[in-house]
């Protein structure tokens, strides 16, 4: 089976602004915009390598600050690595923070339409997909209510529905299944299983080790930007949990 994703020796660094302890918010903004020289450099990812077979599901686990979201943004093409190479075969639909790109003053219908257009869907296809999205999301009469009136669960439903209806080759999920009622969670899982059966690929970032063991074919454990474990989900999760009593590092 061919690889849908191949990551080779990827390193990503972030330069932190050198801000004095007594600096004001204005000082912080000015220094950040000007990107003044100096200041510490943090390696969010360090020489990371792995691959994901087409039609499989990779679970990514690690404590806060381990580089999980940075990795997802690199796979999605939002960020570029400082070193290394990444190859993704096919279209990608990233589903990160709930409602990313959803403006609070826009309605759910308007937000879904804009999200689809941003993903490259034609206006004709958007019109065809909209009824399916609204039906799957189960937001009902709230379709024409502003996003600010939505609960976190409703926002997740709409965002997930948009991503699934786009039908990408690779779906990136970053903690988006952490909210929502049990019935919709089962519905999401059924959609994910159908997605996999059609030969599509999924990368799931989660703090829920049970999901990694139950859903994923392979697991990747990141620790402070390094690959601490990669392979069989049960073995990786067991090694990760064995260190769960350690004090978590400062978030990056």
| CATH code of 8's domain | 3.40.50.300
pLDDT, position 152: 79
In-domain check, residue 133: yes
Separation CA 34–CA 60 (nearest Å):
35
pLDDT, position 101: 61
- Judge whether 63 and 248 are in contact, CB under 8 Å: yes
Residues of the chain with pLDDT under 70: 1, 17-39, 96-101, 176-181, 244-252
In-domain check, residue 248: no
* Domain with 91 in it: 3-242
- The residue whose two tokens read 């502003």 is 146
The residues near 151 (Cβ < 8 Å, ≥ 6 apart) are: none
Q: List pLDDT tens digits, range 25-59.
A: 555 556 555 555 556 788 999 999 999 999 999 99
Separation CA 38–CA 43 (nearest Å):
15
* Full-model pTM: 0.79
For residue 117, what is the DSSP state? Answer: H
User: Checking phi first, is residue 35 left (phi over 0); if not, alpha (psi -120 to 50) or beta?
Assistant: left
The 3-state DSSP class for residue 133 equals helix
pLDDT, position 196: 85
Q: Could you tell me whether strands 170-174 and 92-95 are parallel, antiparallel, or unpaired per DSSP bridges?
A: parallel
In-domain check, residue 252: no
For the chain, the domain total comes to 1
In-domain check, residue 250: no
Separation CA 197–CA 191 (nearest Å):
10
In-domain check, residue 155: yes
DSSP string, 42-99: EEEEEEEEEEEETT-EEEEE--TTSSHHHHHHHHHTSS--SEEEEEE-S-EEEE-STT
């Amino acid at each position: 089976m061919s690889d849908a994703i191949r990551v080779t020796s990827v390193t990503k660094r972030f330069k932190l602004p050198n801000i004095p302890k007594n600096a004001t918010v204005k000082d912080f903004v000015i220094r950040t915009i000007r990107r003044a020289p100096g200041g510490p450099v943090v390696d969010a990812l360090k020489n990371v390598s792995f691959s994901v077979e087409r039609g499989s599901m990779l679970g990514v686990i690690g404590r806060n600050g381990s580089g999980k979201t940075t990795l997802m943004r690199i796979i999605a093409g939002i960020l570029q690595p400082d070193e290394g190479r990444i190859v993704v075969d096919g279209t990608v639909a990233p589903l990160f923070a709930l409602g990313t790109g959803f403006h609070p003053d826009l309605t759910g219908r308007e937000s879904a339409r804009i999200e689809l257009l941003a993903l490259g869907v034609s206006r004709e296809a958007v019109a065809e997909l909209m009824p399916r999205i609204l039906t799957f999301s189960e937001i009902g009469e709230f379709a024409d209510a502003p996003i600010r009136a939505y609960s976190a669960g409703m926002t997740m439903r709409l965002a997930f529905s948009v991503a699934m209806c786009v039908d990408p080759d690779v779906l990136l999920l970053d903690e988006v299944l952490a909210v929502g009622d049990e019935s919709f969670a089962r519905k999401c899982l059924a959609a994910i299983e159908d997605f996999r059966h059609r030969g599509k690929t999924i990368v799931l970032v989660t703090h829920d080790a049970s999901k990694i063991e139950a859903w994923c074919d392979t697991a990747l454990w990141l620790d402070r930007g390094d690959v601490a474990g990669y392979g069989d989900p049960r073995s990786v999760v067991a090694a990760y949990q064995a260190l769960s009593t350690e004090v978590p590092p400062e978030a990056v």
